[in-house]
Amino acid sequence: MEVNPELPLVDDDKNDIEKSSLDSTLLKQHSSSPEEHKKIQNDLYVRRLQTVEEVAKATILKETWEEEFKSTNGIIVDKYSIEQSIDPVIDSPKPIIEYKKSQNMKISYASKKCDSFRLSEGIEIDASSSEDLRKFFVLLDMHPRNHSDNAFLNELETHDVYCEIASEQVSIEYNIQNIEITAEFKDAIGKALKTNTPIEDLKRVFNKFGHLFTTKIIIGNKLQRMVRLNGEKDKENHVSIYHDIGNESLSLWKEKIQPYDSSYLWTMDGDPIEINQISNWLETIPLFELEWHIIKRIVTPLYKILCINQRKEIEKLFSKQDHILITNTTEILAFNTGYQRIEFNSKLKSRNYQIFGKIVDANGKELPNIYVKFSLKSEYGFSVNWIRAGDKNFSINLQTLSLEWRLIGCPSEIGYFDSTTRDKEIKTGSTELKIASNKEAPILEVEDPTQQWSCRINTCIDKPDKPLSSSSISLNLEYPTTRKAPIFKASYKILQQFYSIIEVKVELIKAEYVEFLNEDEEITVTIRWCVI
């Protein structure tokens, strides 16, 4: 049957959506002559195409069969299924509609349960978004390691073979570069990004509007069947195999699922169709004798439809790079004790962070010869110890001293990200320095120690046109914290401005704490650095 999709569209009265249920009846009542039958088939097909086009461009639809075609809403990944969100995320959709009229057969092997689920649900992830989707789900705390019972994310092993015979009639594609986002969705994202706990606030937004967005849907009908194999048969076939529909393809399907019965497939309504009836079934797809359905969705993370600035902010949240998450100034309560505990205003998600800081006076000037060491990090706070070395005769106003500190870490791990520090680009790193006693002149015997150890560090700054001296460099030392722990200080010297190389010098400043350091012992000092 030849059908011309360019035929003039029927008028609004004949194209009323509510009349779609009468079309199959109309076809049967006017089948007296082949010419009239063909004309009615043509009219019904064009009417269906027009209905699909109206649906693709609509934002509010009646509660009819067309509702499932609506792609202006996000997709919520539920525990066992996927469903459209209640609220739309785009306005005035401008879809690219293509009339396909193609038929194909696909045989796929699934080694993970999530792959089986996506195959059976007709879900494909946009090829350029697969890695971003994984990171996005980690950000939303939906990673498979924590959600093995979530069908969309379940990475448990399986051995399934999937067969699909599809009749594709229409494709509806949305260019995410040209769509208009609804004001409600845009405002909700903007408010979440302005808070100091953007990840938790974004979770609430995406749980409402959806986790995925459909960039393309294929409308038509299909037969399908999933067979779970015993053992690891055909495990090497991890990719989909597309075939023309014919005896050779059906024989391959039979071979793949032996010894299971291969004589039937399932319709989308759950009815069995015998293999020898597939040709007759396919002929009814373009007509109203069978309803059309969404048989395939290509999806991308919902945040991808946002403007580029908001996308970058969200991607910064789930990146593995370190950022300045908190900056603060804490008053020193009792300087002479050499110790203070700093508590956070709210609990963090992890203790996997680094602290850099210094003690300053009322004018914000760093005090000379005062060295700090951070320890006992937790989700609730950290401890700081300090020692005054060198010339102790300079006067200090103990009432005006403060600790300036920065918390550095990965936003998705820590769960807190100060909105005022997100524009600052930093580089961080660490290196280890092995410190051993000198057999000829052990540290223990040095009354006024001058022993020094040094190493060179390449900070890998990505701006070779910017001299390192224009950056702020912070150092932090980590070493064993026993009662007799040695006390070290660190200083640096820039060796090559435009190659970002510095020399770090570590010095011993408390010889009385190194009694345990015998000839054959050594201490590992971890030098952590941060360049802003």
Evaluate whether residue 225 is within a structural domain. Answer: yes
* Per-residue model confidence (pLDDT) at position 25: 46
Residue-wise pLDDT for 152-164, tens only, equals 888 888 889 999 9
Please tell me what DSSP assigns to residue 366. B
Q: Is residue 311 part of a domain?
A: no
Least confident of 98-102, 106-110, 324-328, 462-466: 462-466
Average pLDDT of the segment spanning 236-255: 70
5 CB-side CA count, 13 A: 14
Distances (CA, A) of 308 to 72, 125, 195, 313: 20, 21, 19, 9
Secondary structure element (H or E) that encloses residue 166, with its range: strand 157-173
Residues 174-182 have a mean pLDDT of 86
- Among residues 34, 60, 86, the one where a domain terminates is 60
Residue 364 has pLDDT above 60, yes or no: yes
Torsion of CA 393, 394, 397, 400, to 10 degrees: -130
What percent of the chain has pLDDT above 90? 17
Residue 65 domain-assigned (yes or no): no
Reported as a single tens digit per residue, the pLDDT across 181-218 is 999 999 999 999 999 999 999 999 999 999 999 999 88
Query: 483 and 506, same structural domain?
Result: yes
User: Residue 11 — very low, low, confident or very high, per pLDDT cuts 50/70/90?
Assistant: very low
Inform me whether the pLDDT recorded for 449 exceeds 70. Answer: no
**Residue pLDDT, tens place only, 104-124:** 888 888 888 888 989 988 899
Q: Cβ(86)–Cβ(73) under 8 Å?
A: yes
Task: Using the 3D structure, point to which of 356, 374, 408 is the last residue of a domain.
Answer: 408
Residue 202 falls inside a structural domain: no
Tokens of 72: 């202006």
Check residues 287 and 160 and name the one with the higher pLDDT. Answer: 160
Q: Average pLDDT for residues 46-53, to the nearest whole number?
A: 66
Same domain (yes/no): 512, 448: yes
- Res 183: pLDDT: 92
Return the number of other C-beta atoms located less than 10 Å from residue 168's C-beta.
20
Residue 381 lies in a domain: yes
Residue 463 lies in a domain: yes
C-alpha gyration radius of the chain:
33
CATH of the domain at 334: 2.60.40
Q: Do 372 and 359 touch, CB atoms closer than 8 A? A: yes
- Please state the rounded mean pLDDT for residues 142-156: 71
Say if residue 391 is in the same domain as residue 442.
no
| 516: Cα separation from own chain's centroid | 49
The structure tokens listed for 251 are 């024989």
Evaluate whether residue 316 is within a structural domain: no
CA distance 369 to 421: 29
Asked if residue 66 has pLDDT above 90, the reply is no
Residue 63, class by beta-carbon neighbours within 10 Å (0-12 exposed, 13-18 middle, 19+ buried)? exposed
Task: Mark whether 351 and 450 lie in a shared domain.
Answer: no
Question: CA triplet 39, 42, 44: central angle to 5 degrees?
Answer: 110
Compute the half-sphere exposure of residue 22: CA atoms within 13 Å on the CB side of its CA.
8
Average pLDDT, the chain: 75
Number of domains, the chain: 4
Whole-number pLDDT of residue 292: 77
The yes-or-no verdict on residue 404 having pLDDT over 80 is yes
The answer to whether residues 453 and 517 belong to one domain is yes
- Show Cβ contacts of residue 404 under 8 Å, excluding neighbours closer than 6 positions: 328, 329, 357, 358, 359, 360, 364
Domain that holds residue 272: 71-180+211-306
